[in-house]
Chains A and B, each alone.
Chain A
Amino acid sequence: MSRSLGQFAVLLALVLAGVGAALAFAGARPGRAPFFIAARRAAAAIFVFVLIAAGAMEYALVTHDFSVRYVAQVGSRATPPFYTVISLWSALEGSILLWALILSAYTALLARWLGRHPDRSEQTSGPLTLGSLLVVNVFFLLLIAWPANPFGLVSPVPPDGPGPNPLLQNNPFMGVHPPLLYTGYVGMAVPFSFAMGALLAGRLRPEWPRAIRRWILVPWAFLSLGIVAGAWWSYEVLGWGGYWAWDPVENASFMPWLTATAFLHSVMVSERRGMLKTWTLTLIVATFLLTLLGTFITRSGVLASVHAFSQSLIGPFFLVFFGLVLLGSLGLLAARAERLKGDGRLDSPLSRETAFLLNNLFFTAFAFVVLLGTMFPLIAEAVRGVKVSVGAPYFNQMNVPIALALVFLLGVGPALPWRKGSWTLLAGKLRWPALLALIAGVVLALAGVRSPLAWLTFVLAVFALGLLVVEFVEPARVRQRASGGSLVRAVALVAASNRRRYGGYIVHAGVLLIAVGIAASATFRREGEWTLRRGQAQIFSGYALQLDSVWAVQEPNRDGVIAGVTVFRTGNVIDRMYPRLNYYRISTEAVGTPAVRPGPREDLYLVLMAYANDGSNATIKAIVSPMVTWIWGGGIVMGLGVIFGLSRGRRTLTPVPPLRNAEMGQGGEVARAGADAG
């Protein structure tokens, strides 16, 4: 039942997407508004049908309908209900269905938004934008309808299935992490469609970036959270004590993030100064292309260390679509570049524009380094016929300096005014942060921070954070002087009056926390590994670890072996930790679950490596990673920053007036918000 329902819903959605795209493009001509209205309705209907398809699949999963191919592939009666529900995204076909669901949700929301704001629709070449997004829908629905069809019939119907991938079942966080990441990843199709709409129309209004700000920031925030969540998952599940390995799968999500972040910054330049228009569009297009490329290389078996699907048609499908988008968008960009030429120019090297230009340069270089490292094995095989992999040191050697330069820019950029700054003004602003950074540098050196890279990261982070504080406090003091009240209240008022700007600063603070966390955990990590007899203790990095016992447990979907370890510190018991190894029915390979004792200063991380069959001893690996939690905290701060930046202020229909004064006025946003409310 759910099989035919799902199949039917997908086909219907596919037809609607095709028709809707045609209608939308037709509706772009003047006087063809009804076509556009019909296309918007089609977009809403597509979402409903894809929702039905996804619902049918969930129903089949929950009711263990093994006649459905996807259920036979990932379902099992022994899997706990929660994991059965989330196994929608435990394998390829299901995750493409989830992908299509999110995409169609974005499409429906965009259609609604375009309908409700005819003015913005006009600004953003609405019909062409919607049409472009519907074309992306067509592609993904085509994938589901044909090469990645999850609704195929299995005959004879198997009595039971293998259950989802053990790694998926090993941590409930898998219920959150993929949808987060997908919402970001898929959402990049929306800014891409805006860019396509603008390119097809051949015009780009100056207010364009502002009109679509929300459509960029939301996916970007989800992508950021998804990446941090992925790192957390990797840390909590994979048991090697790290969170990032420059694996192709990780890089696939990171590369679009880099270009999208560059875009977020360059768009401000094109908005305020009318510069870098073509470049900004190129970044959006590149971001979307990188999401496609990432999916392609990780799903089609092109690169190693990923599960291969070389016999399915998905690879060729993706390649064709990727090629079409690449050629089409490059062609459009080339054809329209002349018309979109910016009218602004760089007035002075000492200006915020310069900071943004450098920012873009570094982000692009960063993305290129990652792209090259990710694709190099393929290049090497194509050119020289050898199988190689690119070691993590390459990524670190190349990217750490770039990242540090970006942290430095993050510290200086906000202090620079648009157009033309003066050294005295800059020196005045940077005085306190620089002093603070200097003190921090001396203290850290005295405290024994020997690694130059870590030292530099900390110092730069203190510097940048100091400047952020100045940026909050200085205007607040001005306000306080004028209207009294406490400083905290003044800070809150100032921040609330320019949410876009201060939201951005909060995001920056989150990035700094992450930078510090990465530097500390990568530099000062300590680890040891011992085979302990029962009752035996081992001193490690200020802790004493005592193996109490080793035992086995049976659960419906898995069996596990657990080591009980008592942790002492200065003679007192501070914790009991239970690292374990799990054996899932589906795989006879053991999947570990490390035990983590998180803390703001450092994490203690225990892995059960091996054990004697009679339980008399166990091999435990212990890792102490300082300040890892700062990374997760930084991710949360980034998310909060975006929420703050997007809160209220959304009714600002009037564009930012091109800048007249050297310094952005703090009252500008308030004035505009007031104007819109009226």
Chain B
Amino acid sequence: MTWKRALIPLAAMPVIALLGFGLTRDARLVPSPLPGKSAPAFALSTLAGDSLRLSDLRGQVVLLNFWASWCLACIGEHPLLVAADRRWRDQGLRMVGVVYQDTRGNAAQWVRERGGDWPNVLDEGSRTAIEYGLFGVPETFFIDRRGRIVYKQIGPVSEQVLDTWIPRLLADSGPAVVSPAELQVGRSPGYLRTSPDFPATQGTTPRKP
């Protein structure tokens, strides 16, 4: 009789396992097929007026950072990018900013105020953003020397993310450095969070019951 009783708690195990599985998912993310694939090519004009083609940077490690002047999280991550640029540029890191849904004037002013002298291109019509499956800004794509996206950061980058990926990508000169299992999408803890009693809304669009 007693040993049968011990089975009752065991019945709880599937529930715990299910929740544990849930933890490994991010329900909000529709899986991105991008990591592991070649970074979509683009040729866009920079804020300075030159033309920049992603393919010209092949052979270098590229950090493609989508941002906008109206984006608050971008302000937060910018100092990290400046520091990363200073630290790793000599070793072959190429930083490229892609300005999303913004005007040339606003973006140029923003860069003047906050520093950073890497090229920023203007993505008119958001075509490049769409090719990269952007959720919003900031988002940062880490591209290896072979032109493959190895990591995609949704939301602002953290020091930890930069420290993890950039040295690895720089250290490698040839083919694959990252095993397919590692190819992933990261997401910074949203800096905006709601309390549990906010009925979650899919946007503020009036919802049909």
Contact = CB atoms under 8 A, between A and B. Distances in A.
Instruction: Please say whether the chains A and B touch (CB closer than 8 A).
Output: yes
Interface of A: 73, 89-92, 94-95, 156, 158, 162, 165, 167-168, 177-178, 181-182, 226, 230, 234, 238-242, 244-245, 247-250, 252-253, 293-312, 315-316, 319, 322-323, 326-327, 330-331, 333-335, 337, 375, 377-379, 381-382, 387, 392, 522, 585-592, 607, 609, 621
A91 B26 contact: no
A585 B6 CA distance: 56
Contact of B12 (A305, A326, A375): A326
B181 interface: no
B5 interface: yes
Contacts of A245: 199, 207, 209
A253 B197 contact: yes
A583 to B, nearest CB: 11
A585 B192 CA distance: 13
6 contacts: A90-B195, A167-B194, A238-B199, A249-B197, A301-B28, A334-B5
Contact of B9 (A334, A375, A586, A588): A334
Interface residues of B, number: 47
Contact of A295 (B15, B28, B196, B208): B196
Given A249-B197, A331-B9, A323 B206 contact: no
A382 B21 contact: yes
Interface in B145-198: 186-198
A308 B26 contact: yes
B130 interface: no
Q: Which 4 A-B pairs have the closest CB atoms?
A: A302-B22, A304-B27, A240-B206, A334-B5
Interface of B: 5-6, 8-9, 11-12, 15-16, 18-23, 25-30, 70, 72, 76, 79, 186-204, 206-209
Given A323-B16, A330-B8, 16 more contacts: A168-B195, A182-B197, A238-B201, A244-B209, A249-B198, A250-B199, A303-B22, A308-B29, A311-B189, A316-B23, A319-B16, A319-B20, A381-B25, A387-B27, A589-B203, A609-B206
B79 A299 contact: no
Nearest to B191: A73
Contact of A307 (B21, B193, B197, B204): B193
User: Which of B21, B28, B197 is packed against the most chain A CB atoms within 10 Å?
Assistant: B197
A238 B205 CA distance: 8
A285 B20 CA distance: 21
B177 to A, nearest CB: 23
Contacts of A327: 9, 12
A240 B191 CA distance: 27
A253 to B, nearest CB: 7
A294 B196 contact: yes
A241 B207 CA distance: 8
User: Which of B79, B199, B208 is packed against the most chain A CB atoms within 10 Å?
Assistant: B199
User: Which of B9, B76, B204 is packed against the most chain A CB atoms within 10 Å?
Assistant: B204
A338 to B, nearest CB: 8
Contacts of B6: 331, 334
Contact of B15 (A178, A253, A326, A607): A326
B161 to A, nearest CB: 10
A660 to B, nearest CB: 36
A308 B194 contact: no
A335 B5 CA distance: 7
A302 B19 CA distance: 8
A327 B19 CA distance: 14
Contacts of B22: 297, 300, 302-303, 378, 382
A392 B79 CA distance: 45
Contacts of A335: 5
A592 B207 CA distance: 12
Contact of A309 (B193, B200, B208): B193
Contacts of A252: 196
A240 B186 CA distance: 33
B195 A240 contact: no
Contacts of A303: 22, 27
Given A240-B209, A322-B19, A334-B8, A305 B202 contact: yes
B195 A311 contact: no
Contacts of B193: 73, 91-92, 165, 307, 309
B196 A298 contact: yes
A326 B23 CA distance: 18
Given A240-B209, A316-B23, A299 B12 contact: no
Contacts of A609: 206
B190 A307 contact: yes
A165 B23 contact: no
Nearest to A300: B23
A124 to B, nearest CB: 25
Contacts of A302: 19, 22-23, 25, 27
A628 to B, nearest CB: 13
Nearest to B73: A162
Given A92-B193, A311-B188, A319 B23 contact: yes
A241 B205 CA distance: 11
Contacts of B206: 238-241, 592, 607, 609, 621
Contacts of B208: 240
B26 A301 contact: yes
A394 to B, nearest CB: 13
Nearest to B70: A588
